[in-house]
Amino acid sequence: MSTPTKDHVELRSGAYADSVTLLQVSRAVQAAPGVVAAQVAMATGLNLEVLAGMGFDVPDSSPNDMVVALRLDAGADVTAALAAVDAALVPTRPGQGDAQVAPPRTTASALRRTGAGSVVLVSVPGASATVEAMDALEAGHDVMVFSDNVPVAEEVALKTYAATRGALVMGPDCGTAVIDGIGLGFANTVRPGRIGLVAASGTGCQQLLALLHHAGAGLEEVGVRHALGVGGRDLSSVVGGLATREALRRLDADPDVDLVVVVSKPPAPEVAETLAREAEALSTPVELGLLGRGQRDLTTVAEAVLARLGHQAPQWPVHGADNTGPATGPLLRGLFVGGTLCDESMLIAAERLGPIRSNIPLSPELALGEELLVDDHVMVDFGDDALTQGRAHPMIDPTLRNEQVARAAADPATGAILLDLVLGHGAEPDPAAHLAPAIAAARSERRIPVVVSLVGTDLDPQDLSAQRDALVAAGAEVHLSNAAATRRVVQLIEGAQR
Amino acid sequence: MSETTVVTVGADMFADAVAGQAVGVERVDWRPPMPGTEADLAAVATDPRRPEANRKAVEAMLGVTAHLVDVAPASEVLGLERGQFLHAGPPITWDRTSGPLRGALMGGAALEGLVDDPEDAVALFESGSNVSLEPCHHRSAVGPMAGVVTPSMWMWVLEDRATGKRTYCSLNEGLGKVLRYGAYGPDVLTRLRWMGDVLGPLLQAAVRGTEEATDVTGILTQMLQMGDEAHNRNRAGTLMLLRDLSPAMVLSQETGGFGSSDVADALRFVGGNDHFFLNLAMPACKLALDAARDVPGSTMVVAMARNGTDFGIQVSGTGDEWFTGPAQVAEGLFLGDYGPDDANPDIGDSAITETAGIGGFAMATAPAIVRLVGGSVPDALATTRRMHEITLAENPRWSVPVLEFQGVPTGIDVSKVCRTGILPQINTGMAGAVAGVGQVGAGLVTPPAEIFPQALAALASRVAG
């Protein structure tokens, strides 16, 4: 039985807020009294589809309009609901200084105000990211481009120009960087040591940060001083490692860096060769951790780094192993927010289980279509460009992945579920609060083994142990090493196949 | 803590995450660009010529010093012939002209003796025989409001000594019922004839007889610190000009045979017209901006001009092409009983001052006139600050004391206008919509937004590859 409702839809021309803020606004408004459903979003094609799907009737609009769509109890007061929208939209920005002076509207304008020693972090929609990044480079500043969906030709243009300015372009699609101890984007808090990371992969970088931090407790030199992201395409043949070269040059010149580690998703072979040659020529030793068939996984790379510094690798932590029983079916389901973690798991699992279907497949014939669950082993990267267009990254908005967890659990062929959860700056304040209920629900009918790679450090803002405990309490087995987590589920699936 | 400041543009959560690490954050208030401009913006941003081209254009512009070197009839210095009329703004044909431009052309035709009664000029312009219309800008000239220049009108001649390049502008008639606002009554023509017979020759004698040529750029520097923004307020500039020229004007009684009453009339006319210097500020701005023209890859606006029907801009990297859209009606205050319905859409080449970074762009330095254009002092400060968001540089010579002597916002960047949606702010007089009425008010106006994406697309189409 449904109670009667009424819809209120209005367009606000000239109003703008980023998608993450609007997601938070929508959530806040949904919690207001009398509100049945609320969607506050920019009128992009994708958002209009969502609104239509929710049954809202949206008038003609342009993508620069903000849509406020409310579904209220028939007796509820629209004015009160709109007041809740307005209150949620008011930005809470402490320390904005002189109220008389309007904030800068472009990166160039901001840099005129801050001057030297600034780093720029760009996370606007991909179509506008290059323009902001160019402002930074023109003024001689390094820039991290978190934005994805940036055309590769623009990436090459940015990096080519940066080379003439001695500036570094981290990205596009760069999730993580640590510069002078400052975490940018999704970054873990680590003790600084004498290791410099160059990462063509955000979550790969975060995995190494977390492993080395864990292993480095009490060891002064085992810690990451800088982690320079370069973007997932930097080692492709089109981009040719332009940013990696600049990052290596910097770390080589830094007297506080004793060892350089390069981590990347599978690179183009000829770029990898050139990179290996160039790394040889540097005065600082370089450990190359380039993922690929027959190459080392990230945990093995971390162990090699420890060995170079004269230390033995610890036993990587595992919690909640008692939760895990035998596999409940023949197929493995890996659902990731981290692209490199997904890559690494596919490489490890494919060696034992054979072909793995994915939206970021190891080879083209393994590609998934729109359908993310098929009658094969499947691993999905929810952070991939195609799945983030017009919506927030899964580290911020877990809705899509949680839906897939439920679908995987409902599939009788599912034998085990492999997940990742990434902590650090930029991630949700309490991500386990969203994932743990999804895990518990997945295990409510059958005891499907759920193994989670929990990537984080004890200095991260989320409280690593509380996050871990929540996942274990929900029935998961939790690893720090994604490679170890993957091997664990592979073993379970193999057990079911025998 | 670290000395590093992080500039964030995009999701607030990343700025919050940085702030949470006790690191300084400067947040960009980013909003989507003008609709449909993303691809062109990226193409222009990554044009390898652009950074150097804009630097070059700005440098060239800031390198110009305008000296007042002569006063002479348009027939002599512009080669303007009988039947040729210059006008403000982008090119236009008679059938599309607005009231004030019509009125000024009709008065101009009578001044040149092409017709006896200005009203008869309508048939003349309709027939199009033996008359032609051409923008002032196409002849290195600028004209306020209707900007009509005829062969017999006397022109200021400004020169950049470094290059020998020159620009020109007519003499200012004063406010109210004047030709440039479209009035063409007998008193308007009488005044123009006196300007041609007495004022022009007298000023010529004075300019030629002044040993040190007047540095117009230098006067602009000073007047910006004296409450003038050099578009709607030119009081200090006018008096400084008078200070420079009056000795030689007095001496012209001996050197040029002018009567003492002529000299007194001229001094009284100039001193009594607070806008007299505008017609020197404008060609000084044009001289500077012309130096920035034709730099391939530069996104800098080198002219903004209106003919009462269309608003047009020219851009350094796109040569002489005009990008035009409908001129807007200003918002502001009206004289007497006039109201918004009486006002003609925006008209005049005087937006060259804003193009050069003064006028509306320097509003912060002219608090005395913020009410004239319907604003407040905080609005004026905010306006100048806002114009820095769409410009390439600051002018070190032209500074604003109240903003800690920050240079005026200089070099409008087509890209930044499209990125921010912030339109150039222009201070302007308002002409009556009907020919013959004259001035009806003053206020603030902006260009039509669509001309900037047009110009951007043209810039993008010129990017190689």
May I ask the CATH class of domain B66-282?
alpha beta
pLDDT recorded at residue A93: 47
Q: Tell me what percent of the residues of chain A surpass a pLDDT of 70.
A: 97
Q: Identify the domain boundary among A308, A326, A361.
A: A308
| Nearest CB to A16; choose among B31, B41, B378 | B31
Residue in A44, A147, A182 to test binding to B, most B beta-carbons within 10 Å: A182
Same domain as A180, residue A242: yes
| Nearest CB to B420; choose among A105, A130, A146 | A105
Q: Identify the domain boundary among A42, A57, A89.
A: A89
CB contact under 8 A, B4 and A179: yes
pLDDT in tens, A432-441: 999 999 999 9
How many domains is chain A built from? 3
pLDDT recorded at residue B374: 67
Positive or negative torsion for Cα A15, A18, A23, A24: negative
Position A100 in a domain: no
Q: Are B35 and B14 in contact (CB under 8 A)?
A: no
| Nearest CB to A110; choose among B13, B21, B28 | B28
CB contact under 8 A, A157 and B46: yes
pLDDT-based confidence at residue A1 (cuts at 50, 70, 90): very low
Same domain as A245, residue A326: no
CB contact under 8 A, B46 and A93: no
Least confident among A111-120, A251-260, B159-168, B182-191 = A111-120
Per CB-CB distance under 8 Å, the chain A contacts of B2 are 180-182
pLDDT-based confidence at residue A16 (cuts at 50, 70, 90): confident
pLDDT of A2 strictly over 70: no
**CATH at residue A52:** 3.30.70
Chain A closest CA to B48's CA: distance in Å?
Answer: 7
pLDDT-based confidence at residue B255 (cuts at 50, 70, 90): confident
Nearest C-alpha in B relative to A107: B28
Chain A closest CA to B405's CA: distance in Å?
Answer: 15
Same domain as A77, residue A218: no
pLDDT of A181 strictly over 50: yes
Residues in a beta bridge with A414: A331
CB contact under 8 A, A123 and B14: yes
Per CB-CB distance under 8 Å, the chain B contacts of A140 are none
Q: Tell me what percent of the residues of chain A surpass a pLDDT of 90.
A: 70
CB contact under 8 A, B39 and A127: yes
List all residues of chain B from 16 to 35 with a beta carbon under 8 Å from chain A: 17-21, 23-24, 26-33, 35
Same domain as A286, residue A143: yes
CB proximity B272 to A under 8 Å: no
Determine if residue A455 is left, alpha or beta; phi over 0 gives left, psi from -120 to 50 gives alpha, anything else beta: beta
List all residues of chain B from 363 to 392 with a beta carbon under 8 Å from chain A: 378, 381-382, 385-386, 388-389
User: In angstroms, rounded to a whole number, what is the distance separating the alpha carbons of residues B318 and B461?
Assistant: 10
Same domain as A300, residue A334: no
Report chain A's terminal Cα–Cα distance, integer Å.
49
Same domain as A157, residue A72: no
Residue A495 — φ and ψ, nearest 5°?
-60, -40
Position A94 in a domain: no
Residues in a beta bridge with A177: A184
User: Which range of residues forms the domain containing residue A253?
Assistant: 107-308
Helix, strand or coil, per DSSP, at residue B72 = strand
**CATH at residue A182:** 3.40.50.261
Helix, strand or coil, per DSSP, at residue B257 = coil
The beta-strand segments (E) located in A43-100 are 65-73
Chain B closest CA to A118's CA: distance in Å?
Answer: 5
Residue in A16, A96, A123 to test binding to B, most B beta-carbons within 10 Å: A123
Position A98 in a domain: no
pLDDT recorded at residue A266: 83
Which of B167, B224, B164 has the alpha carbon at shortest distance from B407?
B224
Q: Identify the domain boundary among A283, A308, A333.
A: A308
pLDDT recorded at residue A92: 52
| Nearest CB to A130; choose among B32, B42, B382 | B42
pLDDT of B425 strictly over 90: yes
Is B164 buried (19+), middle (13-18) or exposed (0-12) by CB count in 10 A? Answer: exposed
Same domain as A116, residue A84: no
| Nearest CB to B7; choose among A18, A62, A107 | A107
Same domain as A331, residue A304: no
Per CB-CB distance under 8 Å, the chain A contacts of B41 are 128, 131
pLDDT of A63 strictly over 70: yes
Q: Domain B50-61+293-461, what fold?
A: v583 fold (3.90.1700)
Query: Helices A298-308 and A202-215 sit at what angle, rounded to 10 degrees?
Result: 40
Mean pLDDT value across residues A76-93:
81
| Nearest CB to A106; choose among B381, B385, B416 | B416
CB contact under 8 A, B4 and A124: no
CB contact under 8 A, B389 and A104: yes
Position A95 in a domain: no
User: In angstroms, rounded to a whole number, what is the distance separating the alpha carbons of residues B271 and A259?
Assistant: 77
| Nearest CB to B7; choose among A64, A102, A114 | A114
pLDDT in tens, A241-288: 999 999 999 999 999 999 999 999 889 999 999 999 999 999 999 999
Chain B closest CA to A416's CA: distance in Å?
Answer: 34
Strands lying side by side in the sheet with B66-73: B66-73, B154-160, B165-170, B141-142
Nearest C-alpha in A relative to B415: A131
CB contact under 8 A, B42 and A154: yes
pLDDT of B375 strictly over 80: no
Per CB-CB distance under 8 Å, the chain B contacts of A101 are 385
Residue in A13, A19, A106, A397 to test binding to B, most B beta-carbons within 10 Å: A106
Same domain as A487, residue A386: yes
Helix, strand or coil, per DSSP, at residue B407 = strand
pLDDT recorded at residue A18: 79
Same domain as A337, residue A287: no
Same domain as A295, residue A263: yes
Same domain as A492, residue A426: yes
Q: Output the average pLDDT for chain B.
A: 95
CB proximity B11 to A under 8 Å: yes
A211 vs A43, higher pLDDT: A211
- Going from the C-alpha of B230 to that of each of B175, B305, B361, B426, B464, the distances in angstroms are 15, 16, 10, 12, 40
Mean pLDDT value across residues A493-497:
88
| Nearest CB to A110; choose among B26, B38, B382 | B26
pLDDT-based confidence at residue A498 (cuts at 50, 70, 90): low
User: In angstroms, rounded to a whole number, what is the distance separating the alpha carbons of residues B15 and B444?
Assistant: 36
Chain A closest CA to B429's CA: distance in Å?
Answer: 28
User: Residue ranges per domain, chain B?
Assistant: 1-30, 50-61+293-461, 66-282
Residues in a beta bridge with A9: A69
Cβ neighbours of A196 (radius 10 Å):
26
Residue in B6, B9, B419, B423 to test binding to A, most A beta-carbons within 10 Å: B9
Q: What is the ipTM of this complex?
A: 0.93
Residue B345 — φ and ψ, nearest 5°?
-55, 160
Helix, strand or coil, per DSSP, at residue B166 = strand
Q: Are B179 and B148 in contact (CB under 8 A)?
A: yes
